[in-house]
């Protein structure tokens, strides 16, 4: 199984977030990837 490392991807930010309500219901997952490199 291939697992990408930071050296493979560079410095792009990828975000995967699942919003959760107070009553425990989960919303639709939100996926975002930066279009330009970011610095830590």
- pLDDT by 10s per residue, the chain, length 40: 877 776 766 778 888 899 999 999 999 999 998 888 877 6
Which residues, 6 or more positions from 36, have their beta carbon under 8 angstroms from its beta carbon? 12
Closest-CA residue to 15 (of 37, 31, 36): 31
pTM comes to: 0.47
Cβ contact 30:15 at 8 Å:
yes
Domain count within the chain: 1
Task: Tell me if 30 sits within 8 A of 16, measured CB to CB.
Answer: yes
pLDDT, residue 18, reads 93
What is the extent of the structural domain holding 8? 1-39
Q: What pLDDT, on a 0 to 100 scale, did the predictor assign at position 40?
A: 62
pLDDT at 29: 93
The set of residues, in sequence order, having a beta carbon less than 8 Å from that of 27 and lying 6+ positions away, is 18, 19, 20, 21
């Amino acid at each position: 199984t291939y697992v990408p490392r930071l050296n493979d991807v560079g410095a792009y930010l990828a975000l995967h977030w699942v919003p959760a309500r107070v009553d425990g219901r989960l919303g639709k997952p939100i996926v975002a990837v930066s279009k330009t490199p970011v610095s830590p």
